[in-house]
Structure 1
Amino acid sequence: MLHKNNIIAIVILSTLLLGGCNWMSEVSPGNLNDNEEINTEDYYVPVQEYTGKEYTLPNGKETDRIANENREEIEEAIKSFFKKEYKTEVKVHNIVGNVDGATVMVESIGEPHFYTYAVIPINKKTEQIYSEKVFSQEGQVENAIMAGVYGMIMEEEFQNLNDLIEKTKNDYNLTGINKEAIPIGADRYSNEHLKVTIFDDNEFEAIAEEYLENPNRTADEWKKAFNIDNVAPKDIVIAINLFMTDQNVEPNQQAFEHLIKALEQANNIPKGAYAIRLHDNYISKNGSGSKDNSIERAHPDELLKD
């Protein structure tokens, strides 16, 4: 059973395995690869230029080389793993070396749509790739499935939310992350400016179990299997991260307050606890925009929409 404490642990442990690649997480110099010293000018890039190819994991330089030299074998192993364990076809995106193997970031093909990852062990001395020992962090893929199903059954509401965010971006010259970088966070149901994390351990757990029985349900079938009224807003965290489009400008307080007000007044958007952050134009090479000058309304003061 995916209890709430277990789900919190999943988020923390997946952050460790991904080395802090989540683009709403705090910048941590310890995430740098192989104890490299920070050069601030090199560590941050304009968000429009960040594709995720720059992303590394601690002590993963050697396994990264081995993994990418054997990309075809790894892709085959990862696709086979998701098909066998989760009845899901996936597209492989980045393969990033970690201390004992490679973290492989994937995107589901079709609906429900979600991003997640798996890990494949590698022996650095022999350069052997253990294709038969691919694994996922306990509960990580299941949580991604939950978020993907939520996005699927709330398609109209998410479209309204995306339209609201896009209008704010256009009105105040804001932007999200580069679309090429979306898979880097392995952030469940997500796009260039938001991501969803599920903390409910009752209604949504049943959804994950039913998905493994039959992943090919329609949105209407999922709606019948799922009672959103039984889920508290605080158990569905919707994180919104926006950036200033122009370089060398501070986050716009007026834009931030406008977005908060627009969300407060919106009616037909997804139920959830909204964590909103506005950053300057720069993002770290590990995928985080959070810095001392970022403006945020987040835990424990999320904006609740029921």
Structure 2
Amino acid sequence: MNGKNKWIIYGIGISLLLGGCMDMDKANDNGQKETSKEMEKQLVSVQDYKGEGYSLPNGEKMDEMAESHKDEVESAVKRFFKENYQTDIKVHNIVGNEDGATVFVESVGRLHYYTYAIVPIDRDTEKIRGDKVFSEEGQVEDRIKGGLYRLIFEDEFNKLDSYLEDLVSEGEVVGKTQESLQNVGGTGYMTPYYFLSTFMNDESIKPVYDLFVKDPEADIEDLKDAYIESSFSPENLLINIRLFMKDEEASPDEEVFNRVADDIERIEGLPKGSYSLYLNDNKVYKDSFTGEKENSLSRGHGNYIVRN
């Protein structure tokens, strides 16, 4: 396998981990019980999880190398984002992968998003390949576009934030910790309760993105004016709500789930887009930051809550 294809496959793999996708049917009948026990060992209360135990395949050795060259890794990543995206970033966490280090970062400034970059490391010489830092194709662009949606539709997203914060204050459900978003989030604009996803063919936000990359200090009104509302399609902006039961022993509550789904459908002034909704029990898998399980209640692909 050549190097380029290897990294493409690796990028797909980390996207699945970060996006919260998980195949719960991997185990065959003979190994299912043992596999279930191993998976249970990875479960931790979402209120306690801050990113500890997160791992990538075959990353143990590179994890050690990256840690011993931490300053060099951080400098290379900061330079990568500044040169390619005119963005200052804060490094939160470094996780070894098979051929280098995956570095989780947070943007600094008015445009907010979490993302990651990959720093190759030579296994034999332990040399940090700071000139070869990269991100998965389109990944950072997607994160920036999500941040731009949040920026130019501030009132609508503030209303969504207020609704979810009021819901959580009632004491039945919770979200993820801020520390976990920083350390192993990486999926763009994120709050403890949801994250945004955009698509490359979204023509409505493209001119906003082009203007921002050209001039990161562009006036907010100019960014709003660049948005092409007539080109907007709800399928191009996914608002992915992920909630958890507060009680550590509770199963996902169908009444709560249906209430939230109904509220998202009816409340006026929420952001336009396609909403996915998951209500999980209280636990996440600490090695993959995933909360979705067989007992999760969900509305997703093919059954989104659509706001036009």
Per the normalisation by structure 1, the TM-score is 0.89
Any gaps of 5 or more consecutive residues in structure 2? 1-7, 28-34
Distance 2:160 2:172 in 1: 18
Cα offset, 1:124, TM superposition: 1.6
Cα offset, 1:140, TM superposition: 0.9
Q: 2:191 corresponds to which letter in structure 1?
A: N
C-alpha contact 2:24 2:294 (8 A) present in aligned 1: no
Q: 2:252 corresponds to which letter in structure 1?
A: P
Runs of 4+ in 1 over 4 A off after TM superposition: 11-15, 24-30
Cα offset, 1:230, TM superposition: 2.0
Change (3 A) 1:13 1:268: farther
Higher relative contact order (CA 8 A, sep 6+): 1
Distance 1:114 1:276 in 2: 21
Deviation per residue, 1:225-280 (Å, 9 max, x gap)? 11234211111100000000111111011111110111111111111000000000
Counterpart of 2:185?
185
C-alpha contact 1:165 1:259 (8 A) present in aligned 2: no
Counterpart of 1:288?
290
Distance 2:62 2:169 in 1: 42
Deviation per residue, 1:61-97 (Å, 9 max, x gap)? 0001111121111111100111111110001111111
Aligned Cα root-mean-square deviation (Å): 2.2
C-alpha contact 2:281 2:296 (8 A) present in aligned 1: yes
Distance 1:291 1:277 in 2: 10
Distance 2:252 2:165 in 1: 17
Query: Counterparts of 1:86-125 in structure 2 under 5 Å?
Result: 86-125=85-124
C-alpha contact 1:19 1:57 (8 A) present in aligned 2: no
Change (3 A) 1:26 1:161: farther
Counterpart of 2:45?
46
Cα offset, 1:29, TM superposition: 7.5
C-alpha contact 1:27 1:284 (8 A) present in aligned 2: no
Q: 1:298 corresponds to which letter in structure 2?
A: G
Distance 1:98 1:119 in 2: 9
C-alpha contact 2:204 2:230 (8 A) present in aligned 1: no
Q: 1:136 corresponds to which letter in structure 2?
A: S
Q: 2:17 corresponds to which letter in structure 1?
A: G
Distance 1:28 1:69 in 2: 38
Per the normalisation by structure 2, the TM-score is 0.88
Counterpart of 1:5?
none
Cα offset, 1:50, TM superposition: 0.8
Change (3 A) 1:46 1:145: same
Q: 1:259 corresponds to which letter in structure 2?
A: V
Change (3 A) 1:15 1:283: farther
Counterpart of 1:266?
267
Counterpart of 2:17?
20
Counterpart of 2:150?
151
Cα offset, 1:117, TM superposition: 1.1
> How many residue pairs align between the two structures?
291
